[in-house]
Structure 1
């Protein structure tokens, strides 16, 4: 029978209540007996059921290089969960830019350790805890490449997967009892790495090597954010006793040194990283290999571990130019051009767009700019014909709420400039509240867009113009609903007043004459409208 071990997590400055549950560890509810290993779940089951997420189907799963060993529970590989408290261990669920949860992010994952997984359970009441696993007395050539000493008791899980999208992501935390005492001792620091190999992966070459350093021409993707520097105790710490020089300590969490269990009830390890993300670009439809490994260096003391979660290939998601959308809808203002972005690089991919299910001929780019409402759908295939992604988004530009301004034409005599009444505010509002809109008039679109030199309100009813088609620009700002801004224009034309005479022969006429009579016209000039 398996019991649950209740912990109170204090992580990253936030206090949260959670349970750390290890699938293969029995915990005495009375706290009298030490945790006991119980072989409930194998590495292969943990990878398949608890590590991978959307877009990933693992196969050829091995533990320490052996497929059969992956089917047998191990003391060094465990499922961890945190009782559905999504902030436990610092892991957060994946949400899109609008707060919509996009993957299965139940608070679970895979724990890999240099000793027994039970060491992970808090409180932190020991500054150097370790539980040896004799059957794991094996090293690893890739881990050996990133340290200067021998590697022992390595925990290694590896598998293949097909790329169903362009990017691989997963989250991880590295934790160790070697913090902080051995932060500046790289020759004994336990090591870990995530070694990815496959098409398009540029292999690491570590000096003095001149050829790829890792097996399968792999690349280590366990990196400090924004760098090519591997995550390690030496590369992420706050010095000896957590008071020394900062080395990427933005990504470091001090969990005490085993002397204050009441203050450090979360996990046993003295220090660990914040949640970091491993990521790599993939080629859709290709097969990749990942090796996840952690090992002791120099001795089998001071255990270390890696928590891994959310191993997934994100689906394509259409957004606007800023990466925003709400429930697959992009809202635009009256006159906005709306950019729809796929986030997929052009490369050799094929992009097919439809608008309201109708193919958009000649539109073959990763992003498009549209001015019409409707449903836009994108389908992307790789050069090999693999479906990279398919998504649709609805563009909903709010309709212009006012009347369109009318052209202004007046009949004139003599030479200009002529006086025009260009004030169309009341006409355009058409009964809407004037307090909800700001309407200003300009002599050019540039002035209107930049708010420069508006036509004074007192001049609107007697604006002087040559009347030769001059455009007046109106800037409309919605102050009440959505803050939209739009621009409209109307022309000013002055036309000559018509003149001439007409008469009827034999007038006056009696009222009883019903036959049509033709007028006599003379001296006519054109004009008017």
Structure 2
């Protein structure tokens, strides 16, 4: 990871400048009244407690660039690989933070870096993406030292903050709350892993999203703070994705086959905003979609979609999203009902269901799609209770309906179903 690299002009920005120029996207908020607690001056790129990061070529780090806040020094967290964990400690000598302690129910925080500011939104929704990394992730110390991050929000008329940096169940983001230690495992699905190699920290969380609904034209206060807990050693950091602090429009994350969230090709997919009363301008791959001015656009082809909305005078919100459609397979040929003559006249027959597959596939590639058979339509829709390859009717001489499902192997939510009757008769 490149952190506060000399080639990046953002590396000598102050933390408020980084918030305004790197973190925030959209022009629909009046941001002011910054205060901060940081270690180092803006031009002290190798020692300050915050900075600008950029993903180098070949790295699998999930963010291309953004802002880093640390409970130590930012520069040693990347740039040169430091073997082992922890890397040499670079405590920043800052005090802890009472607001963080109140929000998380902690005591004894140290080395807190924070930025606080006011903003007046013209959009009712905002969100941002982040992840937490720490030296405490070594398989044991995460059980004892709750290094933490908080994204605190309040109306300026309120004395109390709400912490937005929480898991879906409301659990705050801290080392003790997210880890895969053998001694105190917690919320393992939200822990990406140990010693991933993209930073010098011992481990990190998965990408997390914080969001809130606010009242437009009301003044709010935001505070982003990270700190050590219990000691001043073994630093932690928050990586905030550039442009992800979205206080304008948000069409959501990209929808792709590789991410498993691509829509299916047989059904138009609606893109929408929360502004039904305003005029929208939609674009597909940079070309305006003529005649579409509502807050909903139904799409059916892969592309980059952009929307622009004038939310207020001087405030144009915009966002874009890449949508990839997964192919929905079809039942190429309808299956005929099967009337089977039973040679031994016992009323039972073992049917090789796979013998029907070529009829269902038609010209479709069997490597791309899978076929299964089920006893009910509900099972076919849910892909449950699949029948064995050779299926024997359950009751002699009683007609059964068998349901078939063909699905996309890489977009299993994209499927089609059909059914046929299976009936066994005596041969004479």
- TM-score normalized by the length of structure 1: 0.46
Task: Tell me which residue corresponds to 2:218.
Answer: 286
Q: Report the 3-state secondary structure (helix = DSSP H, G, I; strand = E; otherwise coil) of the residue aligned with 2:201.
A: coil
Task: Tell me which residue corresponds to 1:13.
Answer: none
Q: CA deviation at 1:118?
A: 2.7
Task: Tell me which residue corresponds to 1:269.
Answer: 201
Which residues of structure 1 form unaligned runs of 5+? 1-19, 27-38, 92-106, 202-214, 257-263, 324-331, 360-364, 370-377, 392-529
Q: CA deviation at 1:385?
A: 8.6
CA distance in 1, matches of 2:309, 2:229: 46
2:54 counterpart of 1:54: no
Give the alignment partner of residue 193 of structure 2, picking from 247, 254, 257: 254
Quote the RMSD (CA, aligned, Å).
4.7
Q: CA deviation at 1:140?
A: 1.5
Deviations 1:181-234 (A, max 9, x none): 22222xx321210102238x9xxxxxxxxxxxxx8422111111x221111112
Matches within 5 A, 1:57-456: 58-64=31-37, 75-83=48-56, 88-91=60-63, 107-121=64-78, 122-127=81-86, 129-134=88-93, 136=94, 138-145=95-102, 146-179=104-137, 180-185=139-144, 188-198=145-155, 216-224=159-167, 226-239=168-181, 243-244=182-183, 246-256=185-195, 265-309=197-241, 310-315=244-249, 342-344=272-274, 350-351=277-278
Is the CA contact 1:124–1:267 (under 8 Å) kept in the aligned structure 2? Answer: no
Is the CA contact 1:237–1:248 (under 8 Å) kept in the aligned structure 2? Answer: yes
Is the CA contact 1:183–1:189 (under 8 Å) kept in the aligned structure 2? Answer: yes
Q: CA deviation at 1:302?
A: 1.0
Q: CA deviation at 1:307?
A: 0.8
Q: CA deviation at 1:53?
A: 2.2
Q: CA deviation at 1:114?
A: 0.7
Change (3 A) 1:389 1:217: same
CA distance in 2, matches of 1:90, 1:79: 15
Is the CA contact 2:51–2:74 (under 8 Å) kept in the aligned structure 1? Answer: yes
The structure having more radius of gyration, on CA atoms, is 1
Q: Report the 3-state secondary structure (helix = DSSP H, G, I; strand = E; otherwise coil) of the residue aligned with 1:278.
A: strand
Which residues of structure 2 form unaligned runs of 5+? 257-264, 282-288, 299-306, 320-428
- TM-score normalized by the length of structure 2: 0.55
Stretch moving more, 287-296 or 50-59:
50-59
User: Which stretches of structure 1, 4 residues or more, deviate above 4 A after TM superposition?
Assistant: 68-74, 338-341, 351-359, 365-369, 378-382, 384-391
Deviations 1:29-50 (A, max 9, x none): xxxxxxxxxx833212322332
